[in-house]
Amino acid sequence: MSNFENPENTNNPMGNMQSDSENFMTIGEAISYMCEKLGRISRTTFYRCGYRKMITVRSYGRNKSTGREAVKLCRKSEVDYIIQTIQENPHAENI
Q: pLDDT tens for residues 55-91?
A: 565 555 555 666 666 677 788 888 888 888 878 877 6
Which range of residues forms the domain containing residue 62? 22-88
3-state DSSP assignment of residue 65: helix
Domain count, the chain: 1
Q: Kindly state whether residue 4 falls inside one of the protein's structural domains.
A: no
* CA dist list (Å): 65 to 49, 60, 61, 68, 72: 36, 15, 12, 7, 18
Q: Kindly state whether residue 64 falls inside one of the protein's structural domains.
A: yes
Q: What percent of the chain has pLDDT over 90?
A: 0
Q: Kindly state whether residue 12 falls inside one of the protein's structural domains.
A: no
pTM across the whole model: 0.54
Tell me how far apart the alpha carbons of residues 79 and 33 are, in angstroms, rounded to a whole number.
Answer: 8
63 contacts 38 by C-beta, under 8 angstroms: no
* 26 backbone dihedrals φ, ψ, rounded to 5°: -75, 170
Confidence (pLDDT) at 31: 81
